[in-house]
Amino acid sequence: MTWAGVAFGALPVVSTLLGGWLGLRLAHRLAAAIALTGGVVVAIALFDVLPEAVDAVGDAHRVGSLVGAGFVFFFVVERALVLHHRDEPGQARAHAHVGAAGAAALSAHSFVDGLGIGLAFGLDFATGVLVLTAVLAHDFADGMNTVNFVLSQSNDRVAARRWLVVDALAPFAGALVGSAVSISDTTLGSVLAVYAGLFLYMGATDLLPEAHSHPSRGRVALTLAGFGAMYVITRLATS
């Protein structure tokens, strides 16, 4: 087991909790927070997860197919949960399941983040630090997004905190697994490609439409800020 991967794998727990705390503090201005995180989620998919998947798999066409599969999968899951109640107040409870599905997907992504930390430190320390830097930034956004997904669908702060804890622990669990076992780059890249599809769907159909349901230059600026910030971070982390 690579103990450096385990030790540093605990840091994203703190990063995720900080992001979730910020999301809870901004609950009274949820649309603004969602505008920011919508840009973050799409940027993560385009500038980090997708390029990593292409590099790992080595087949752009296969990666494209997996991204499409992830997009369609979450579309089907969400439609199965909300098909008969969208804009129906009496059926609003089902929205909680949609928020939970989004939170679960983000938690699974956080697990993959932690897995990447464990595997990277198994290669060499410098690579491990580089991956850790990117994961800390990503998981801060993931913590905020996890809270926002749940609150935007159900406004259940207890459930939001519960999912935040799950999301915070996920990267540490992933780091434990990544430090103890070895998986091929192709397999890891395939998983990342599927999650790129999930994040593109979340950003394009859940977060951004909700954030921009009413005209607001401020929300546009927040979306662009989140998008631009993640572009800069991912470029610095890979330079």
Q: What percent of the chain lies above the pLDDT cut of 90?
A: 7
Q: If you write DSSP's letter for every residue of 12-71 in order, what string do you get?
A: HHHHHHHHHHHHHHTGGGHHHHHHHHHHHHHHHIIIIIHHHHHHHH--HHHHHHHHHHHH
Model confidence band, residue 64 (pLDDT cutoffs 50, 70, 90):
very high
Q: How far is CA 118 from CA 55, 114, 128, 170, in A?
A: 18, 6, 8, 13
Could you report the per-residue pLDDT of 20-56, keeping only the tens digit for each?
888 777 666 667 777 777 888 888 888 878 888 898 8
- Rounded distance between C-alpha atoms, residue 50 and residue 55, angstroms: 9
* Position 208 confidence tier, pLDDT thresholds 50, 70, 90: confident
Cα distance between residue 39 and residue 106, in whole Å: 15
Query: pLDDT tens, 217-233?
Result: 888 888 899 889 888 87
- Per-residue pLDDT for 68 more than 90? yes
Please check whether residue 226 is in contact with residue 39, taking contact to mean a CB–CB distance below 8 angstroms. Answer: yes
Over the stretch 69-119, which tens digit does the pLDDT of each residue have? 989 987 887 676 554 444 444 444 445 555 566 677 677 777 877 887 887
> Of the segments 63-67, 204-208, 227-231, which one has the largest average pLDDT value?
63-67
Interatomic CA distance for residues 64 and 61, integer angstroms: 5
The pLDDT mean for the chain works out to: 78
The size of the chain, in residues, is 239
**Three-class DSSP category at 122:** helix
Residue 32 CB burial class (10 angstroms; 0-12, 13-18, ≥19): middle
* Contact status, residue 167 vs residue 142, Cβ threshold 8 Å: yes
